[in-house]
Chain A
Amino acid sequence: MSENFYSPYSQRSTLGGCGCGKHESLAAHDAAAERERLSRGLDAETLSRDFVEAAAVRALFPNDVTRRRFLTAVGASTAMAAIASVLPLQQMQAMAEEKGPLEKTDVKIGFIPINCATPLIMADPMGFYKQQGLSPTLKKTAGWALVRDQMLNGELDASHFLAPMPLAISMGLGSAAQPMRVATIQNINGQAITLALKHKGNRDPRNWKGFKFAIPFEYSMHNFLLRYYLAEHGIDPDRDVQLRVTPPAEMIANLRAGNIDGFFGPEPFNQRAVYDGIAFIHVLSKDIWDGHPCCAFGVSEAFVAQNPNTFAALYRAILNAAAAANDPANLPAIAAAISTPNYLNQPEIVIRQALTGRYADGLGNVQNVPDRAGFDPMPWYSMATWMLTQMRRWGYVKDDVNFDALAEQIFLMTDARKHMAALGQKEAVAEPASGYKSFSVMGRPFDPAQPKAYLDGFAIKRS
């Protein structure tokens, strides 16, 4: 029998010689075992079974040291037998793999016509939904408030969300509370602060008192990142400037009319403002937080409970699409597929610039930033905790909340890993296994284990 790909039983200790007797040396035995282990990783179904088993063992022994000590004490095979006797491993593996009949195939998926929705949109023209037996209707929706309302009243089965929205809706901020789930992150990076051309010579945020900015929605990364960016430069986003919630097309119209000085908008509207000759790109969001999440693919908890197989099929379609979007070679084809009137309804060249990162900056230069936009789908728990710290910081959340509990309830990272493993995607085992990846925003490190200390570290805040 070959070694489990995730090695939950391994003590990572050197064996005393080639135990099986088939190999001349220990090194040859190890090499053969490693080859077998890796080949096991190539088979999606085996990988899925291994993953479930590994996850179960991890759940039993959250602490790796304890697990190793247990294995050392009783031996791997005894441990396997002992664990198998308490955990219905085979049923769990069968459940994880189950591709039962779909409860419904005609799912209604909402989207806002912006680049952030690339994976869930391109999955339609490029056939990723069909591959999973789904025939969805992609409904272009007129605004974020409407996405929220149509998810609440069940008109949409699944939708493109701004990543903080499922957190806000689950907590009942700005709407009736209804538990929502984030299946995957749709996109990372790919936003920007765009300023009117008249501010060409005024690039220092410290001089921006009195500016008026447009943002797409209160519960958006755009709002949180713009507030963060301004506050780091000593500008109080509530007192020194005005932030207005504005639909993207109107951001451009207002910028042209001089009603606003700039906006933190989704693509392709930053690039569109440049293309229309009225603005320049001041800073890409990736330069504020490289790898920040932006939008999410979400469903209601009720939908997951009622349609587990459909949800799994949707999951696989979106993950496949995200993997395809993450390959730079596919980006020109994707730009062509999503720019049509049925989807984004924008000039293809604008979308392509925002996706590929070779773009005109509005100041006369062609910039080349290949990681301007990305499509890493992993819903890290720490992304949710960061959003919650910002909601607390700016007074959207009045009371202390349990950051980790909310993050782990709403962001379905374990499901994402399971489906990635089933699809044979190597990101399934991306570290850290805990899901609390740390990162830094404008050079300020965020330790997801210490959200309160992080909050206390800000000079400008509401609470």
Chain B
Amino acid sequence: MTKSLRLRGAVLSLAILAVFLLTWQIATTPAKTTAPSGADREYAELMGNSATGAALANGVPTPAQFASLAWKQLSDPFYDRGPNDKGIGVQLAYSLGRVALGYAIAALIAIPLGFFIGMSPLLYAALDPYIQLLKPISPLAWMPIALYTIKDSATSAIFVIFICSVWPMLINTAFGVAGVRKDWLNVARTLEVGPLRKAFLVILPAAAPTIITGMRISMGIAWLVIVAAEMLIGGTGIGYFVWNQWNNLSLGNVIFAVLMIGVIGMLLDSLFANLQKKVTYAE
């Protein structure tokens, strides 16, 4: 039953893809133009219409054009032709590096702090309004403040990732720790378990699924933020790549980058999904 469901799902997925590609092909097929002659020829050339009447290279590409463009990018992902022209692999590596750094700092602060907040109802009550206030702020709103105060665009990007990805981790850790079943804590108390042992052997495993969920949400946010941040600071990264191609009005490359952002985001998410499976327990 489940097997046939999965099969049918895959077939439907492929059908959707086929319909999508077909629509794309129909929508972007260039209209045939006649070759201009005589005096109009120079004008046509200056306008980018070659004598053969080929479509403009800068509009939305056809699926075939897109495939060849994607192949060109993917076949040489690590080229480096100067500070403003690097391959897609190099750009993605820069972005992942920034995300890893900002995210690691966020995790290092959010998880211990969340532990404290979760263990102390007083701290929880005191800090909750601030967390709720800071949580919904957009990364783009942080950017000018960061640029102005940190005075370094690379550090600003990392700061923005940090500040946006710290909240879900913090809240989920606190929530998970606060929600550990009282019975287990009572058992630990009757057995006279020390506070450190209690934290690592009772609370941490009990709260782990909630903490990992928070980390997973944070990773999603960090990956969303990096694209926006890099579009603003320029220089390197996938966000800069999108901006640079957009500046050239090269939609094909922008679509390609969007696809790559999606693929990497999906991989990061499935990484945490696996981790989550490992720490889940049945009560």
User: 8 Å CB contacts to A: which residues of B137-181?
Assistant: 147-148, 151-153
Are the C-beta atoms of A140 and B48 separated by less than 8 Å? no
Within 8 A of A (CB), among B22-69: 40, 42-43, 45-48, 56-58
Task: Please name all residues of chain A whose beta carbon is closer than 8 Å to the beta carbon of B152 when the two chains form the complex.
Answer: 153, 155
Near A by CB (< 8 A), chain B positions 53-107 give: 56-58, 81-85
Number of interface residues of A (CB under 8 A): 40
- Give Cα distance in the complex from A366 to B43, angstroms: 6
A249's partner among B42, B153, B246 (CB-CB below 8 A) is: B246
A366 touches which of B42, B81, B245 (Cβ 8 Å): B42
Contact pattern, A 323-359, Cβ under 8 Å of B = 1, otherwise 0: 0000000000000000011110111011001000011
Total CB contacts across the A-B interface at under 8 A: 93
A298 beta carbon closer than 8 Å to chain B: no
Q: Is the CB of B85 within 8 A of A248?
A: no
Given contacts A139-B235, A272-B249, contact A155 B43 (CB under 8 A): no
Closest residue of chain B to A365 (Cβ to Cβ) is B43
Beta-carbon contact of B153 and A155 below 8 Å: yes
Question: Contacts A139-B235, A248-B247 known; A275 to B83 CB distance under 8 Å?
Answer: no
Q: Which interface class (under 10, 10 to 19, 20 to 34, 35 or more) fits B?
A: 20 to 34
Question: How many angstroms between the C-alpha atoms of A146 and B85 in the bound complex?
Answer: 19
> B249 near A276 (CB under 8 angstroms)?
yes
Q: Is B232 interfacial (CB-CB < 8 Å)?
A: yes
- Residues in B neighbouring A140, C-beta threshold 8 A: 83-84, 234-235, 244
* Contact of A139 with B47 in the complex, beta carbons under 8 Å: no
A-chain residues with CB within 8 Å of residue B243 when the two chains form the complex: 142
Residue B270, interface by CB 8 Å? no
Chain B residues near A341 (CB, 8 Å)?
Answer: 81, 84-85, 244, 248
CB of A192 to closest CB in B, whole Å: 15
Asked whether B233 is an interface residue with its Cβ less than 8 Å from the other chain, the reply is yes
Contact B148 A149 (CB under 8 A): yes
Chain A 128-172 near chain B by CB (<8 Å), digits 1 or 0: 000000000111111000100110111100000000000000000
Question: A142 and B43 in contact (CB under 8 A), knowing A153-B152, A276-B56?
Answer: no
Would you call B148 and A349 a contact (CB within 8 A)? no
Is the Cβ of B81 less than 8 Å from the Cβ of A276? Answer: no
The smallest beta-carbon distance between B202 and chain A, in angstroms, is 48
Decide if B231 is an interface residue (CB 8 Å cutoff).
yes
B residues in contact with A365, CB < 8 Å: 43
The reply to whether A343 and B84 contact each other, CB–CB distance below 8 Å, is: yes
**B43, A345: Cβ atoms closer than 8 Å:** no
Residues of B within 8 A of A249 (CB): 246-249
Residue of A nearest to B240 (CB): A142
Given A142-B234, A276-B58, A360-B43 contact (CB < 8 Å) = yes
Which of A155, A342, A346, A360 contacts B46 (CB under 8 A)? A360
Instruction: Give every chain B residue within 8 A of A252 (Cβ-Cβ).
Output: 249
Name the A residues within 8 Å of B56 (CB-CB). 276-277
Q: Which residue numbers of A lie inside 8 Å of B, CB to CB?
A: 113, 137-142, 146, 149-150, 152-155, 247-249, 252-253, 272, 274-277, 340-343, 345-347, 349-350, 353, 358-360, 364-366
What are 24 A-B contacts defined by CB distance under 8 Å?
A: A138-B82, A139-B84, A140-B84, A141-B234, A142-B231, A142-B233, A150-B153, A153-B151, A248-B247, A249-B247, A253-B249, A272-B249, A340-B85, A342-B81, A342-B82, A342-B84, A347-B48, A349-B45, A350-B48, A353-B46, A359-B46, A360-B46, A364-B40, A366-B42
Complex A-B, nearest 4 residue pairs according to Cβ-Cβ distance, in ascending order: A153-B151, A142-B234, A360-B46, A342-B85
